[in-house]
Structure 1
Amino acid sequence: MPAMPHLWRTSVLAIACLLATDSAHAGDVTVAVAANFAGPMARIAEGFTAATGHTVKTSAGPTGKFYSQILQGAPFEVLVAADDETPKKLIAEGHAVAGSSFTYAIGVLVLWSARPGVVDDQGAVLASGRFNKLAVANPKLAPYGAAALQVIQARGLGDAITPKLVTGESIAQTYQFVFTGNADLGFVALSQVVVPGKPVTGSFWRVPSSLHSEIRQDAVLLKAGASNPAAKALLAYLQSPAAKAVIQSHGYGG
């Protein structure tokens, strides 16, 4: 992971100071979180509230849609994105605080079916044609969807698979397409399939990172949260050992 900008480097002591907020001064922070990270974020929010007294109000969805909403004045204070480009654009366009972005996770793409034995450990099912519908997230809104299309092209299967594609607005909707059987298989996030404490449903192929661009997921402080101590404390907590343990337990790299 690249070094964080000097302005945003935080030592363990600095993080501890930010988190040691007097509960009498506890506040709220409104967060837009990428759909693939909704599960881990819920657990992280619980730990954050226990540590600081601050409460987290989250909305989960596609990063591209949140970008448009932020430009239109949506009152989000923190963006926990599914890519690193959106936070950069928001900073460049004056909607986020310069120096506040950092990579909190590296996303892992999987090809998944809700049924056992459908997806093999090499992803050969893609070329077999033995499926009717393949679900992907909207590549214009969701980085995991863009990565999925890169995998299909890398395998030389664009012409064969394109007629079978079903597009979800977000990676969460894509997962639902497969889970409900509306699609035989789909490209989703590993964090949706491998959930700590729960058995894995169906079958999946962990896609080699060499087949698509790295899914570097960044968080950023938005201008609406620039004066909110709870927003700054949340971003500090997201870099803490407790949060990193949750992130890694859900299968993210980084």
Structure 2
Amino acid sequence: MKTLAKHLAALSIGLCALSAGASAEELDVMTSGGFTAAFKQLNPAFAQRSGDTIHTVLGPSMGQAREAIPQRLERGENADLVIMVGYALDELIRQGKVDPASKVELVDSRIGMVVKQGAAKPDIATEEAFRKTLLNATSLAYSDSASGVYIQNQLFRKLGVEQAVAPKAKMIERIPVASVVASGQYEIGFQQVAELLPVPGVTFVGKIPESLQSVTRYSAGIPCNAKHPAQAKALLAYLSSPAAQPVIQATGLDSIPR
């Protein structure tokens, strides 16, 4: 925590370069789950130094739920910046809703695993060890987002355990997977690392083997009808800056080489 505090302090100092004379605005930022923890830690320093107020709206990157970012934009809700799964942002660009020139790739997000706090940490260091852990588990939970769809439709099949785990595996809708592991409803849970780490009552086991990973890239862009595109561009530059990377990595995300 001390290290993270130092990183945040350094970011705050670095933001002194922002123009103190610029008029303050209220920015509407829509972000999906994988980047939420990082954004919550990064945006206060930007707001303090820029003078802008940031109003954050959370929602899935895709889907038909009312809260989903594409649905919000379709209803005409204002957004100065959207942060979401890269291919979902590309679809909004294709539809003419986001300025293609504004797109910035922010981070990569990998899948991790948790167990209930106090439980033994299973071995998932290799494909074979991971396979045995899945077979030995009494129950498995995974998300209803991109990572969970990959686990259900591809990962189990790759490991040859699809039929064996089907009766004990469950896709969890809407709520964090780690929460149902913390409550003891499921023995192990899978979701993007950045969405597992903030949840109390669980122990983070680690990322699944790299050979089995499905890496989700998060990108951001400025909607074509944004009210404050200049301020949004400054925020986006800040989020993708080298100085922001230690904070981003501390929340379980992986920096993109630039």
Which position in structure 2 is the counterpart of 1:21? 19
* Deviation of the 1:95 alpha carbon: 0.8
* Deviation of the 1:200 alpha carbon: 9.2
TM superposition score normalised by structure 2: 0.78
Query: Per-residue displacement from partner, 1:101-142 (whole Å, max 9, x unpaired)?
Result: 1211110211211233153233232122x313x22111xxx2
- Report the Cα distance in structure 2 between the residues aligned to 1:193 and 1:22, rounded to whole angstroms: 37
Higher mean displacement: 19-28 or 180-189? 19-28
CA contact 2:80–2:228 (8 Å) conserved in 1: no
CA contact 2:181–2:188 (8 Å) conserved in 1: yes
CA contact 1:21–1:53 (8 Å) conserved in 2: no
Query: Per-residue displacement from partner, 1:59-79 (whole Å, max 9, x unpaired)?
Result: 223211222332332322211
Higher mean displacement: 99-108 or 16-25? 16-25
Letter in 2 for 1:155: L
Aligned to 2:253, what secondary structure does the other structure show?
coil
Matched, 1:175 2:178: yes
Which position in structure 2 is the counterpart of 1:164? 168
Which position in structure 2 is the counterpart of 1:89? 91
* Deviation of the 1:226 alpha carbon: 5.9
Which position in structure 2 is the counterpart of 1:7? none
Letter in 2 for 1:162: A
Between the two proteins, what is the percent identity of the paired residues? 23
- Report the Cα distance in structure 2 between the residues aligned to 1:23 and 1:113, rounded to whole angstroms: 50
Cα 1:51–1:137, aligned 2, differ >3 Å: closer, same or farther?
same
- Report the Cα distance in structure 2 between the residues aligned to 1:219 and 1:23, rounded to whole angstroms: 26
* Deviation of the 1:33 alpha carbon: 1.2
CA contact 1:194–1:200 (8 Å) conserved in 2: no
- Report the Cα distance in structure 2 between the residues aligned to 1:177 and 1:23, rounded to whole angstroms: 48
Cα 1:72–1:125, aligned 2, differ >3 Å: closer, same or farther?
same
Query: Per-residue displacement from partner, 1:184-236 (whole Å, max 9, x unpaired)?
Result: 221122224446xx999425131123214321111111223264332222111
- Report the Cα distance in structure 2 between the residues aligned to 1:59 and 1:108, rounded to whole angstroms: 23
Which position in structure 1 is the counterpart of 2:156? 152
* Deviation of the 1:161 alpha carbon: 2.1
Which position in structure 2 is the counterpart of 1:220? 221
Cα 1:193–1:73, aligned 2, differ >3 Å: closer, same or farther?
same
- Report the Cα distance in structure 2 between the residues aligned to 1:48 and 1:34, rounded to whole angstroms: 19
Aligned to 2:102, what secondary structure does the other structure show?
coil
- Report the Cα distance in structure 2 between the residues aligned to 1:203 and 1:251, rounded to whole angstroms: 11
Unaligned runs of 5+ in 2: 1-13, 63-67
Matched, 1:125 2:133: yes
Cα 1:234–1:212, aligned 2, differ >3 Å: closer, same or farther?
same
Which residue among 33, 36, 50 is the counterpart of 2:34?
36
Cα 1:205–1:55, aligned 2, differ >3 Å: closer, same or farther?
same
* Deviation of the 1:32 alpha carbon: 1.5
- Report the Cα distance in structure 2 between the residues aligned to 1:79 and 1:45, rounded to whole angstroms: 14
Letter in 2 for 1:136: Y
Aligned to 1:167, what secondary structure does the other structure show?
strand
CA contact 1:91–1:97 (8 Å) conserved in 2: yes
CA contact 1:19–1:237 (8 Å) conserved in 2: no
Which residue among 143, 148, 170 is the counterpart of 2:146?
143
Count residues in correspondence: 230
CA contact 2:30–2:58 (8 Å) conserved in 1: yes
Letter in 1 for 2:182: F
* Deviation of the 1:174 alpha carbon: 2.0
- Report the Cα distance in structure 1 between the residues aligned to 2:188 and 2:207, rounded to whole angstroms: 13
- Report the Cα distance in structure 2 between the residues aligned to 1:19 and 1:31, rounded to whole angstroms: 22
Matched, 1:57 2:55: yes
- Report the Cα distance in structure 2 between the residues aligned to 1:18 and 1:100, rounded to whole angstroms: 24
- Report the Cα distance in structure 1 between the residues aligned to 2:115 and 2:231, rounded to whole angstroms: 39
Alignment root-mean-square deviation, CA: 2.7
* Deviation of the 1:92 alpha carbon: 0.6
Consecutive aligned runs of 4 or more in structure 1 exceeding 6 Å deviation: 16-19
CA contact 2:106–2:220 (8 Å) conserved in 1: yes
